[in-house]
A and B are shown apart, each in its own frame.
Chain A
Amino acid sequence: DAKTTQPTSMDCAEGRAANLPCNHSTISGNEYVYWYRQIHSQGPQYIIHGLKNNETNEMASLIITEDRKSSTLILPHATLRDTAVYYCIVSLSMDSNYQLIWGAGTKLIIKP
């Protein structure tokens, strides 16, 4: 079973920040939080990952709570092309077999 819980779907207005929550209450100390997204008819695309500290890159920001039991992915200025299923996954980055356990994700719809 997936070790994360995400809302099934969310809407966001174009140009606004999209905030996608994820609960991972059973996360262990050496597990990372990864975010991927899958645009319709394409393979998943890596977005960002983090361990304890907040992270930012050109695509998004990742905010992890101090107890690490939840996190939020922030797309600062959502565009229509950000419409996709967003997956929050916890995994041991040290695991060379990369046993990511994928859940159902959040279907994010960006509305004009």
Chain B
Amino acid sequence: ETGVTQTPRHLVMGMTNKKSLKCEQHLGHNAMYWYKQSAKKPLELMFVYNFKEQTENNSVPSRFSPECPNSSHLFLHLHTLQPEDSALYLCASSQVIGLAGVTGELFFGEGSRLTVL
């Protein structure tokens, strides 16, 4: 138990569906992240939220839409995905310390395994 909970753990969706992935952290952290892990590829950072504000969007296609309503919750809204979007989507959190932005280590959830048919 890492203190970061992701739901659902597994999701199968068609290319025309709309679904959402949810992440909740119980660690009191102020930064949250979405990562994508495709088969045989390294982890790729998708989005970063610091203090609920999005500070990073690594050229992610608009069919992925993040939402961070508060510092404990993070969503990834999915629509009109492609089969190549099938992957493990990982949420992480960390504590950003002070104005200099020093971060502690990342705490990851167990991931949501997404299959797009």
- The answer to whether B106 touches A96 (Cβ under 8 A) is no
Return the chain A residue nearest B97 by Cβ.
A96
For residue A104, CB closer than 8 A to chain B, the reply is yes
The A60-112 residues at the B interface (CB cut-off 8 A) are 93-104
Return the chain B residue nearest A34 by Cβ.
B105
For residue B69, CB closer than 8 A to chain A, the reply is no
Cα distance A62–B34 when bound, in Å?
Answer: 28
Label chain B's interface by main secondary structure: strand
- The answer to whether A97 touches B55 (Cβ under 8 A) is yes
- The answer to whether A94 touches B45 (Cβ under 8 A) is no
- The answer to whether A46 touches B107 (Cβ under 8 A) is yes
Contact with A along B64-105 (1 / 0, CB 8 A): 000000000000000000000000001110101000111101
- The answer to whether A44 touches B42 (Cβ under 8 A) is no
Label chain A's interface by main secondary structure: loop
Chain B neighbourhood of A101, CB < 8 A: 42
Cα distance A43–B31 when bound, in Å?
Answer: 17
- The answer to whether B42 touches A98 (Cβ under 8 A) is no
For residue A26, CB closer than 8 A to chain B, the reply is no
Chain B neighbourhood of A94, CB < 8 A: 100-102
Q: Pick from B4, B44, B106, B108: contact of A98, CB below 8 A.
A: B106
Instruction: Give 10 closest A-B pairs by Cβ, nearest first.
Output: A96-B101, A43-B108, A46-B105, A102-B43, A102-B42, A97-B56, A44-B108, A97-B48, A43-B90, A96-B96
Residues of A at the B interface (CB closer than 8 Å) are 2, 34, 36, 41-46, 49, 93-104
- Contacts A43-B2, A97-B50, A97-B56 given; 18 further ones with Cβ under 8 A? A2-B42, A42-B111, A43-B108, A44-B43, A45-B2, A46-B107, A49-B105, A93-B103, A94-B100, A95-B101, A95-B103, A96-B50, A96-B55, A97-B48, A98-B48, A98-B103, A98-B106, A99-B56
